[in-house]
Amino acid sequence: MLRTLTFEYLLTPTGLEKGRRLTVGDDGRIATIEPVADGPWDGGFALPGMPNAHSHAFQRALVGVPETRATDSFWSWREAMYTVANALEPEDLKVIAARAFTEMLSAGFTSVGEFHYLHHARDGSRTLDMALAVREAAREAGIRMTLLPVLYQRGGFNRPPAVEQRRFIHESLDEFGRLLEQLRAEPCGVAPHSLRAVPPEILPALVALTDEVLSPRAPLHIHVSEQIREVNECRALYGRPPIACLDDSVTLDERWSLVHATHAEPAEIELLHARRANLVLCPLTEAYLGDGLFALPEFVARGGTFAVGSDSNARLDAVEELRLSEYGQRLVTRRRSVLSGTLGLGLPLWREAAETGARALGQAVGRIVPGAFADLAVLDLENGLFAGVAPEQVLDAWVIGGSAAQIDSVYVGGERRVEHGEPTRRIDSSGFASVMRRLHESMRS
């Protein structure tokens, strides 16, 4: 049975359209888009929901870790992350992930690529329970998910795994393949964690395994060039920086998503664009961890686009990820409108990030067109931020001055998941508070 959703303005691949009615099928996909003369409207300004191209849901539990000298770098923060990771049971992970996924929806993210490496039981014994907990949390929240099981084999370049990493480790591809076999019934890709954690010589066999067990179109994601130390150690061991090393090992293309790429060198930026691999930036987390800034103006000048991810989930706000993408470059270049084009700033940033994120996740989302899922974020045009603003400049105003507070409703597959800014599916707030208290007490002891 077809349902209808009618919006005063609709952002499609061809631009901003006034007065449009969507019909949505039982499968949650858009069947038709038709012009309408007037309301009543289901919403004022509908955008394609933003795919969250990189998330570690369990790291939502790290919000509130003391900001002290003891966690003054990525590497010292990572020790706090290990403490949390090694304290979680499956039921804890489900509660934390459900909270993170619900907050994502309210923030304008309608789908998520969950970069999942918290695989095993606390004692290292093999179990599927952690992955199933994440999947159940996504179902509970109502977000669309591509699960990205992570291959993690070593503790650093030429270093064995540390004790704190035993929950992450698969010692062989055969063992990892058995995990994929158990998870492939629902949307799934594969993520070699990084060249720190997976030797590049293993990658061709990992891609072949992915093709065999999942699909030759299954997404492939990897952390790369996030830290200067990582770049230097890769160069010392392999004679080249990480992206160049990766390109020597596998065929980079649109199937691959490179997360962060913060310290990519000029030749690697050109390589990234030439191979048409997806760039995934996580500006809020990259700032939170003190990673640095990717050379975005150079990449965009070549016609490159990027997806965004919430990564650590320390703060969840899709439009703020885009704002920091722009503002970070303004601080570096000391000029305004660095990423703007002929259509302004907000419209191309949102549209291109949504389309790139959809490619990264292998999902039919990110575009409001027939055949795509009706995953939408709808802005409240009555919000004071938009007073007097022409429709064509609404997204500029939102990127510059707004936040998730201007999102009125969110739909996944045509089903409303957020209404008047509030999730339609309630989560166990007391359970989340209880888990967080226990975790933070254990970190203080």
- Alpha carbon distance 57, 45 (integer Å): 29
Annotated catalytic residue within 311, 317, 375, 408 = 311
- Alpha carbon distance 316, 52 (integer Å): 10
Quick check: helix, strand or coil at residue 11?
strand
User: 152-179 as b/e, with b when 16 or more CB fall inside 10 Å?
Assistant: bbbbebeeebeeebbbbbbeebeebbeb
- Alpha carbon distance 157, 120 (integer Å): 23
Q: Give the pair of three-digit tokens for residue 42.
A: 């289901």
260 noted as active-site residue: yes
Is the torsion defined by CA of 180, 186, 189, 191 positive or negative?
A: negative
- Alpha carbon distance 94, 74 (integer Å): 26
Cis before 40? omega within 30: yes
Quick check: helix, strand or coil at residue 425?
coil
Q: Give the pair of three-digit tokens for residue 82.
A: 């290990």
Beta bridge partners of 4: 23
Annotated catalytic residue within 116, 119, 260, 273 = 260
Q: Sort residue 284 into left (φ over 0), alpha (ψ -120 to 50) or beta.
A: alpha
54 noted as active-site residue: no
Instruction: Provide the pairing of β-strand 278-281 with 306-308.
Output: parallel
Q: Give the pair of three-digit tokens for residue 444.
A: 């203080």
Q: Which amino acid belongs to residue 367?
A: R
Catalytic residues: 260, 311
